[in-house]
């Protein structure tokens, strides 16, 4: 898996998925029907974290992600828990693509689009080099 952000974010996603899968395997009732998952996936791809879902644990993708985070947090070992805050931050603040778009739009109000993009991606590259998540 590659989050396209930094290695720390990649590790965080791996820790989250490992802990989540342990939880889902222990409690099969947490798994909605396959057809609902496919329909929700298509909606989420189109509308992002605000997409409405059929999942019993939340009416939006963000609500479902919050629920899945709680499952992962309960089932994470101590090493995994050190990284889960990164996943929680992405659930609450949005994915990297959203943050980049947000910051380009903010900077665009003060400068040209080209300069805004250059500054945001320069900051992103610096964070990558330092293995820091983008905020």
Domain boundaries, the chain: 1-93, 95-135
Quote the pTM value. Answer: 0.83
Closest CA to 65 of 45, 92, 96: 92
Give whole-number Cα distances, 74 to 23, 69, 88, in Å: 8, 9, 14
Give the model confidence (pLDDT) of 95-121 as tens digits.
Answer: 888 899 999 999 999 999 999 999 999
- If you average pLDDT over every residue of the chain, what do you get? 90
Report how far residue 105's alpha carbon sits from residue 60's, in angstroms, rounded to the nearest whole number: 25
What distance in Å separates the CA atoms of residue 21 and residue 101, rounded to the nearest whole number?
31
């Amino acid at each position: 898996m590659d989050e396209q952000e930094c290695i720390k974010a990649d590790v965080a996603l791996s820790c989250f998925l490992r802990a989540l899968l342990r939880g889902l395997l222990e409690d099969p009732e947490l798994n909605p029907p396959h057809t609902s998952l496919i329909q929700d996936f298509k909606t989420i791809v189109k509308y992002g974290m605000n997409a409405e879902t059929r999942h019993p644990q939340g009416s939006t993708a963000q609500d479902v992600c919050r629920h899945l985070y709680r499952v992962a947090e309960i089932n994470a070992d101590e090493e995994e828990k050190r990284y889960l805050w990164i996943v929680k931050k992405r659930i609450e603040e949005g994915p990297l693509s959203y943050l980049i778009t947000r910051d380009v739009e903010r900077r665009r109000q003060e400068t040209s689009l080209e300069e805004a993009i250059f500054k945001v991606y320069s900051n992103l590259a610096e964070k990558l080099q330092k293995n820091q998540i983008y905020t």
